[in-house]
Chain A
């Protein structure tokens, strides 16, 4: 079911230092579609994701959201964007629960303390919700960082950098279900991963950066 693309990139070119990572990159994603970016380490996957969010200014080309360049209307674009980078934006000295509330608050999606506790519970973090994040394992930290996705289902555009890293089988399966539900719900998904994730293959566009 072809839909009008909401997120489009034209002739995108990014450099890191003097090295050109990619050029003439173009795609369009409509509601309910997903872009899976792959490529070897250093091929520019994270840079591409950062430029789609407006964090990195592309050398050339433009990213549009609903037909408007993202830099022209940054606040409105940010209100519809959920970005999860390599670093989970967790504060070591705040508890998992406080971290989740803080992240959602800054993202403009403030939720109740109970709703946050419920999601942590669903993700198997109930026992460590009150612990400082520095005491959590890598996988647990990743779950806390990802927990904000469960509370931003209304946010149309999700840009996720390696969301499956450090997750165990259960958490991966839960995340896959969430991503599939997001696409079903007319959300848009851009993610990088090294794994075969098989979330809604019929809705997925693939982009390999090193070819």
Chain B
């Protein structure tokens, strides 16, 4: 069973690698959105340093939404989703494997890119570390919650926008705790605990909900 999930995940990663232009576009979107802020607000380092955590987190949230439609849309169009639903293996676990692959392909690059963008916004080295850690804990939650929205809207016209509208309000706690961790200085540990709790909660609930949503969407 475990090896099947690994194979499903590796296959999705191989596909993501062969369609890396898609993955790259999410990352470029992230870099561009973050780079717009110094242009729009002005280059004062003091201002940028204050808004940096919020900017990096909001941009990560938007980039995560942008990549959501890729999670199930192609599988729905080519019939793979039907085969997943008819698999004798538990759909919840297959969905979890797909979400994991999706996060590695689209969430992890954001986490890795964030320190560089932090430097660009003039963040302190210690803050950048906290920032990266909060994204590493928070972006999987975005992928997990996003999967439920993507599953609910699969096959609908304008699915990408609709999924974002459904998911963004649910991601607000992640945003608050994620961006808050950087400003909390010594209290960051509490924010990390909350982010970790959100991750555990999402891991337990989201694949189940996404699997149920897929069954409804394909009915």
Contacts and interface: CB of A to CB of B under 8 A. Distances in A.
A106 B218 contact: no
A56 B219 contact: yes
B87 interface: yes
Contact of B84 (A56, A91, A106): A106
Interface residues of A, number: 30
A89 B219 contact: no
Contact of B18 (A75, A85, A93): A93
A53 B84 CA distance: 12
Interface in A156-184: none
B169 interface: no
A57 B219 CA distance: 6
**Looking at chain A's contact residues, is the secondary structure mostly helix, strand, loop, or mixed?**
loop
Contact of B82 (A55, A79, A90, A98): A55
Contacts of A54: 86
B82 A93 contact: no
Interface residues of B, number: 25
B25 interface: no
A108 interface: yes
Contact of A105 (B4, B18, B78): B4
Contacts of A55: 82, 85-86, 218-219
Interface in B1-46: 4, 7-8, 11, 14-15, 18-19
Contacts of B14: 94
Contacts of A90: 78-79
A87 B219 contact: no
Contacts of B89: 75, 106, 108
A107 interface: yes
Nearest to B18: A93
B64 interface: no
Nearest to B14: A94
B187 interface: no
Most chain A CB within 10 A, of B19, B87, B90, is at B87
A91 B83 contact: no
Contacts of B90: 75
A90 B82 CA distance: 12
Contact of A83 (B11, B19, B82): B82
Nearest to B79: A87
Interface in A80-96: 81, 83, 85-94
Given A78-B88, A105-B4, A106-B87, A89 B19 contact: no
Interface string B85-107: 11111100010000000000000
Contact of B87 (A78, A86, A87, A88): A78
A130 to B, nearest CB: 14
A107 B78 contact: no
Interface string B48-80: 000000000000000000000000001001111
Given A105-B7, A106-B8, A89 B88 contact: no
A79 B15 CA distance: 26
Given A106-B8, A108-B88, 19 more contacts: A54-B86, A55-B86, A75-B88, A75-B89, A76-B88, A83-B83, A87-B78, A88-B79, A89-B78, A89-B83, A91-B74, A93-B19, A94-B15, A94-B18, A105-B8, A106-B84, A106-B94, A107-B83, A132-B18
